[in-house]
Structure 1
Amino acid sequence: MCTHHDAASQGPAGHNRRGFLRNAALAGAGAATVGIGAASLAATPAAAADASDATATTAATRSDKVGTWSPDSEALQFTLAVMPDTQFLYWGSQDSVNREPQEESFRYIIENSGTPDNNIVFMAHLGDLTEDADPLSFGEVDKAFALLDSHGAAYSVLAGNHDVTGDDSRGDTPYLQTMGPQRFKRAKSFLAADPSGYNTAHVFEAAGRSWLVLALDWRTTDQGYAWADDVIKAHPKMPVILTSHDIVASPYDDNVFPYQSGDPENNAVMAGNGQTMWDKLINENDQVFLTLNGHYWPPGRMTQKNAAGNDVHMHITNYQNRYFGGGAMIRLYHFDLVRNTIDVETINPWILAQDPESRSELAAEHARITGPVDNFSMDIDFDDRFSSFIPVPVRPARPASKELVKGTLAYWRFDGQGAAGTSLTAGQTVRDLSGKGNDLTVVTVPGSAADALTWSADHHPDQPGHASLKFVGGRNPVHGSYLTTGAKAPLNTETFRSGYTFETFVMMPLDWDAGNNGWAAILSRRGSAGSAGKHGKNTDVNEPVVQLSISNNGREPQFNHYPLNTTYPTTNWGHGLVELRWWHLAVVNDGRLTKLYVDGAPVVDNPSRVSQGLTSLGLPWLLGGHEYAGAIDIVFHGNVGDTRIVNRPLPAKEFLTAK
């Protein structure tokens, strides 16, 4: 960021922080911050003697003890390290140089590559490596970055306005001589550079795919943008992280508490150069999903829709105005492709490496920065966000014959039987594909709407049949359509003494209501507990002898059943299921214990009580219906997909979701 000798170091547009804040009607606050920076951060390292003394021993003992660069390129969790403006560490023309903070951050990055908690796969520097662009300064920067080079670390750099003047047509400079493309000739992650050498492209491997990083000059020409566009188009299946020194800016200042009236998720604004970059490169390239820049402070972020209607997350991170010029602080972007989240944290490895008892109070405050713009999480559905250039493979439907595992007693699925959106009518039959004769027949509660039960193309992505039934039911008054086995279906008398597996797929809509839809059963067995002679603790004599339901408390799946060996029920409880997401539910009994699984994972509330078989009164099974005291009291609300009943316990590798 421009703080010293602005007139000499600013780009051709004369764009610096003081000018930006003046335009934003915050010139007074900006001037105050620049003043603080000039007074406290431009000093020689002697001005921070306490911190330097505290780390002298650490630097001496750690210099030869750096781990290896070994990121896990297949793990679905990985980290991108980002280092903003380190200029105050390198002011050679003023004999003010201190490599140790940056080298400590580099050690941290190397040592945390491949670790389960971090798995750092790449480091991106955001420019302003030096304060003065002096060859002496770049000579020291060269020594610091040699630590990354000697360990084969993957990284990118770019020029900021304190490293160069003018745009990327400027020709040779100390920056280019030190940090130009020749530096990366042995780097596996280096992809290419434009003819100027100031714009570079890098590729890192993570989560089993390739990710493209563009490191663009602080002032990129049309030729530079055209080159970058060509690189993106030459790698059409790579997500792109774009880095440059000046993209978005901070419209507020941190000499007052900045979050009182703002949104920490949208508190940055597009800078003039950023708008140019958006218009010429980002907007039309949907692969660009994240941009990172320094230059301004305080940190901030914004999200903007591109031409494809997708979010581009645009972040500014810069701590040069903090203690010791930021001390080579790093921002860690922890990607988690399982949780569809990026967790962001900001740390200072140089301070963290110091003996905690020897840290000054000021240093301790800056070991970790935890404000809402420094430590946060971003929800990104990576498959959905990247689907325009990395289509999500659709698992094809599988024939029913492939799912008829040994012991299958019933298998109901709903593909190829009716057009999506058309209604099923009372008396209509859904065949049991197991061939065991447990066909289902539609029953409609009098007074229900004509579309109370319809065919649907919605389905779980791992479901064998690519269709489902959409139930529109409820209580108060009871309404909807459900399905039932016939009076003489073999399944009615089955008691499952040797164990069983029940599987189904389910999705609840947004209008699911606890009062109207809670406790509706996906699958149940007719016949009340009282009629079966059941009694004792937790017994409700009017409830059915078997029911797989969705509770009214957070949409939790519940399997409540009366075993043969007890007079009272055993109940398995799952966690809350969100709406508009397909879930696979499985209930497995091995002849002794019953376990409920959600998406292949056992739930926490699986009782250790012995539960043998299932009580039967010889009455039908219901799909989507539930009775109480012998009468239908509620019909399911939501979609139900493939449903299978097997007379033995199945391992997860034999579930309907198995690959």
Structure 2
Amino acid sequence: MQKPFNLSNLARLLAVAAALPILAGCGALPATPSAERDFVLAVIPDTQNMLDYRHQQAEGFKFDANDLFVGQMRYLADNARSAGGKVAFVAAVGDVWQHQTATMETDHAARGHRAVPNPYFSVELEVTPKAKTVEMPAALAGYRLLDGRVPFGVAPGNHDYDAMWADARFPPVPPQELGKLMAAHPQTPVESRPDLIGMLHIGGLDNFRSIFGADSGFFKGKDWYVASYHGGADSAQIFSAGGYSFLHLALEMQPGDDVLAWAADVMAAHPGLPTIVTTHDYLNGAGERHGNPIVDLKRLDDRHNDAEDLWQKLIRRHDQIFLVLCGHQRGQAMRVDANGAGHQVVQILADYQDRGQSAIEAGVPPGLRGRPVPIGDGWLRLMHFDFAAAVPSVQVKTYSPHYRRYSGETSDYAKWYKALEQPALSDGEFFAADDYRFTLPDFRERFGPPR
């Protein structure tokens, strides 16, 4: 799904971030990391376009884009600690696959929600059996490469829900009128105008649970899978690395109050553990806690909480939470805020789904608005935690198993991607957004020394 982005405050946010003591510049991963005091947390951004059935040779595409996804998973498995590498945990931010199997599931239909046709989201709203026959089996096969090699948690994204529909309360304007209405606001991206192109709602997680539910082969009986809610739509894992045990919470998209209460109970059951929260939609490309306005679930259904609600109701109230990971909105961003106890919480966005350089290189003609056909190019986030020094640090790197190199080693990186994702940045700023180090100055005050 094409995501809106807002770059108006990005330069200012980058400047503020650069002045914070948390940042310590860019650089390569340590050549000789200290034994048992370092590890890698891998983050899988939205993979939907790699698994999209339309992007496979069986549909006439130049190559099987899901090979990019398999390459990601094989790389993580080969570099897991169980294989002699450094990857101790894998967090997936959602939008694993692309398509749905229903227009609307029964719960929303029973509560009076109605769908309307929407010409602007014909791809996103396609209901197809190929979600189950092509996309979900590819996801299952990829994650099986991690099974037994490294613990992982997956947060569902909007495309992982059983149904996604254009909500009747925000009907789209006719295409012949759109240009005239947009002319009045030429600087406003059309993707941020739900009053013109409509708004999408989602419902049902049976498909997601069939792959990633609490009773799935991935998690049932695993000692590191410690809790679940809604059958595994929300889940909790514990992994030990770097001298600490970490709690990871994978939360559904824009979760309701009941999910937040469950998350609080899980933390209470595991007091003192440094906690990472992964959820799909939290930061935008400008580093603001603003969700995608086209998929603003709270506006459509008061059972949901938006990003600021999630911060106020859960994250800032629980001092165990020190890191938040998300995707959904195109681009890269980082922000740091003090929680209610005065301790820092690092919040990071990474979403590479719309990248299409590998499609260009394969001879795939441009798609919508002359842009490359989006397939993601296999980019991953690798967060290298080092607890050997007096002040712990985290080196953030971005790596593509397809290109077999880091973003900082890719001379054309900004040329390939900056114009689509964050055109207001200089090339140097764009490189820095995917290759930087930050420190955790209050980590040991909160969680004690490594063991």
Tell me if TM exceeds 0.5.
yes
Give, as a single letter, the amino acid of the residue that structure 2 aligns with 1:385.
Answer: F
8 Å contact from structure 1 (residues 126, 292) kept in 2 = yes
8 Å contact from structure 1 (residues 203, 211) kept in 2 = yes
Alignment-derived partner of residue 149 in structure 2:
152
Alignment-derived partner of residue 372 in structure 1:
432
The aligned length equals 305
- C-alpha displacement at 1:132, in angstroms? 1.3
Alignment-derived partner of residue 317 in structure 1:
350
* Aligned with 1:271 (options 247, 269, 290): 290
8 Å contact from structure 1 (residues 242, 291) kept in 2 = yes
Whose radius of gyration is greater, 1 or 2?
1
More helix per residue: 1 or 2?
2
8 Å contact from structure 2 (residues 39, 241) kept in 1 = yes
Give, as a single letter, the amino acid of the residue that structure 1 aligns with 2:434.
Answer: D
Alignment-derived partner of residue 23 in structure 2:
none
> Equivalents in 2 of 1:141, 1:116: separation in Å?
22
1:115/1:148 Cα in 2 relative to 1: closer, same or farther (>3 Å)? closer
Residue 445 of structure 2 aligns to a residue whose secondary structure is: coil
1:143/1:375 Cα in 2 relative to 1: closer, same or farther (>3 Å)? same
> Equivalents in 2 of 1:197, 1:319: separation in Å?
26
- C-alpha displacement at 1:282, in angstroms? 0.2
> Equivalents in 2 of 1:318, 1:331: separation in Å?
9
* Aligned with 1:132 (options 99, 102, 112): 99
- 1:178 paired to 2:211: yes
* Aligned with 1:242 (options 267, 277, 285): 277
- 1:348 paired to 2:400: yes
1:109/1:241 Cα in 2 relative to 1: closer, same or farther (>3 Å)? same
> Equivalents in 1 of 2:289, 2:205: separation in Å?
30
Alignment-derived partner of residue 559 in structure 1:
none
- 1:194 paired to 2:229: yes
Residue 181 of structure 1 aligns to a residue whose secondary structure is: coil
- 1:291 paired to 2:289: no
Alignment-derived partner of residue 89 in structure 1:
50
8 Å contact from structure 1 (residues 82, 123) kept in 2 = yes
Alignment-derived partner of residue 443 in structure 2:
385
8 Å contact from structure 1 (residues 83, 328) kept in 2 = no
* Aligned with 2:160 (options 160, 163, 172): 163
1:246/1:337 Cα in 2 relative to 1: closer, same or farther (>3 Å)? same
Q: What are the equivalent positions in structure 2 for 1:572-583 lying under 5 Å apart?
A: none
8 Å contact from structure 1 (residues 171, 196) kept in 2 = no
> Equivalents in 2 of 1:98, 1:341: separation in Å?
35
Gaps of 5+ in 2: 11-32, 101-130, 165-199, 292-305, 359-374, 418-427
- 1:330 paired to 2:380: yes
- C-alpha displacement at 1:374, in angstroms? 0.3
Alignment-derived partner of residue 281 in structure 1:
314
Give, as a single letter, the amino acid of the residue that structure 1 aligns with 2:237.
Answer: H
Residue 156 of structure 2 aligns to a residue whose secondary structure is: coil
Kindly, what percent of the aligned residue pairs are identical?
A: 29
How far does the alpha carbon of each residue in 1:197-252 deviate from its partner, in whole angstroms, 9 at most, with x for none? 2100011110232101111111211111110110011111210011011111113x
Give, as a single letter, the amino acid of the residue that structure 2 aligns with 1:229.
Answer: A
Q: What are the equivalent positions in structure 2 for 1:464-503 lying under 5 Å apart?
A: none
Gaps of 5+ in 1: 4-16, 27-71, 252-267, 354-358, 394-659
> Equivalents in 2 of 1:117, 1:103: separation in Å?
20
> Equivalents in 2 of 1:197, 1:117: separation in Å?
30
Give, as a single letter, the amino acid of the residue that structure 2 aligns with 1:89.
Answer: M
> Equivalents in 2 of 1:360, 1:378: separation in Å?
24
* Aligned with 2:255 (options 220, 224, 245): 220
Structure 2 length normalisation: TM-score?
0.61
Give, as a single letter, the amino acid of the residue that structure 2 aligns with 1:305.
Answer: A
RMSD, aligned α-carbons: 3.5
Give, as a single letter, the amino acid of the residue that structure 2 aligns with 1:98.
Answer: A
Q: What are the equivalent positions in structure 2 for 1:448-597 lying under 5 Å apart?
A: none
- C-alpha displacement at 1:373, in angstroms? 0.8
> Equivalents in 2 of 1:271, 1:244: separation in Å?
13
Residue 80 of structure 2 aligns to a residue whose secondary structure is: coil
Alignment-derived partner of residue 123 in structure 1:
90
Structure 1 length normalisation: TM-score?
0.42
Residue 328 of structure 1 aligns to a residue whose secondary structure is: coil
More contact order relative to length (CA 8 Å, sep ≥ 6): 2
Residue 107 of structure 1 aligns to a residue whose secondary structure is: helix
- C-alpha displacement at 1:138, in angstroms? 1.0
